[in-house]
Structure 1
Amino acid sequence: MPQSIHNQIEENIKTLKKGTIIFSTDFREYGTAENVKRVLIRLEKKEILIRLARGIYLYPKKDKILRTIFPSTEEIALGIAKRDKARINSTGALALKQLGLSAEIPMNLVYITDGPVRKIKVRKSIITFKKTTPKNLTIKNKKLNAVIQGFKELGKENINENATLKIKKVLCQLPVKNLKEDINVAPTWIKNLISELIKNK
């Protein structure tokens, strides 16, 4: 393998901002997938990169106290979606965390997507991308999506006063424009519940 490939990739990486998530596919122009893989493994051994998952690396940012600052699993998921030019929306436990209905940071994140279906192990977590219908990805406002997915996760029978108050607070922060139209993609019971919560908005 020509040494120049190694040098080119290393020089390219060193122009990036510390803390950048890097994919092996970012370097297709420099050589074959196998040669790029070998270079990235060498850079990992030199401690220039940290491997996060298969084909995914971190150009690490250091902190005097915290040492290496790792991106959140959610940031990695967003990076994967950007690379794949795919749309994703959070679901389940992550949606509840985003709404303030759970203090627990989920180890395993599940996203609905119009991109490839896959499971990716990132350090101690697993990111799952599940296929969904296009209508479930039409909502661009992430907070409104979290509300809909949060309701789905809780279930109709488990929505208490505390959950209702917290979700209403989130909804009150959202622009009224297009809100009533956007909730049409939600199941009828969620649509009716949201409509009631924003009735006087």
Structure 2
Amino acid sequence: MKKGEIMYSKAILEKIESLPEGEPFKANLFIEIAPYASIRKALSTLVNSGYLMRVTWGVYVRPEISRYAGSVPPTSGKILKLMAEGEKITITGAEAAQRLGLSTQMVLKEVYLTSGRTRTIKLENGGTIFLRHASPRKMALAGRLAGVALSALWWM
């Protein structure tokens, strides 16, 4: 390892240690510290050593350690919040109806509506999160209880 890469690795590790455990972060968080190739190499080394967990492409986390379950991955909500910066995200109508007690149908796939593009997020633990684009009028009340009720009504 070159001297510059060691300095970059130390700076990246210090920044990671300042982040709370269990809080996911993107690799581009370190772009002011080091070149992207050095960032990828440092993160890869930390993942291989077990210090970091790779959640999905470009997203990592310093896992919380539970004495019962070992390392605990971040929740889907935390991952979504990070992946969809600048977008509105809300639950689908089926999930909204189930949460409001209007339906007993359980939703098995994690599907969310977004103001951004439709995409699939494949998680390292084998899970998948689906983001489906929705029209602006369906996203107008996203993040509010009225938006949940409106999603449920549209679904019914």
Q: Report the TM-score range of the alignment, normalised by the length of the smaller protein.
A: 0.7 to 0.9
Letter of the 2:38 counterpart: N
Match of 1:71 in 2: 74
Match of 2:118 in 1: 117
Separation in structure 1 between the aligned mates of residue 87 and residue 57 of structure 2, nearest angstrom = 19
Normalising by structure 2, we get a TM-score of: 0.81
Does the CA-based 8 Å contact 2:138-2:151 persist in structure 1?
Answer: no
Structure number, greater radius of gyration:
1
1:73 offset after TM fit, Å?
1.8
Letter of the 1:136 counterpart: K
Does the CA-based 8 Å contact 2:121-2:130 persist in structure 1?
Answer: yes
Deviation above 6 Å: which 4+ runs of structure 1? none
CA shift in 2, pair 1:40/1:105, >3 Å: farther
1:125 offset after TM fit, Å?
2.1
1:148 aligns with 2:150: yes
Separation in structure 2 between the aligned mates of residue 46 and residue 22 of structure 1, nearest angstrom = 18
1:136 offset after TM fit, Å?
2.2
Q: Provide structure 2 residue ranges, at least 5 long, that are not aligned to the other structure.
A: none
What SS is found at the alignment partner of 1:8? helix
1:74 offset after TM fit, Å?
2.8
Q: Provide structure 1 residue ranges, at least 5 long, that are not aligned to the other structure.
A: 156-201
What SS is found at the alignment partner of 1:145? helix
CA shift in 2, pair 1:103/1:63, >3 Å: farther
Specify which of 7, 11, 16 is matched with residue 13 of structure 1: 16
CA-to-aligned-CA distance 1:49-88 (integer Å, 9 cap, x gap): 111111111111111112222222233112222xx32111
Match of 1:42 in 2: 45
Normalising by structure 1, we get a TM-score of: 0.65
CA-to-aligned-CA distance 1:18-37 (integer Å, 9 cap, x gap): 11111112112123333212
Bigger fraction of residues in helix: 1
1:96 offset after TM fit, Å?
4.0
What SS is found at the alignment partner of 1:95? helix
Question: How do 1:63-102 and structure 2 match up within 5 A?
Answer: 63-81=66-84, 84-100=85-101, 101-102=103-104
Higher relative contact order at CA 8 Å, sep ≥6: structure 1 or structure 2?
2
CA shift in 2, pair 1:128/1:146, >3 Å: same
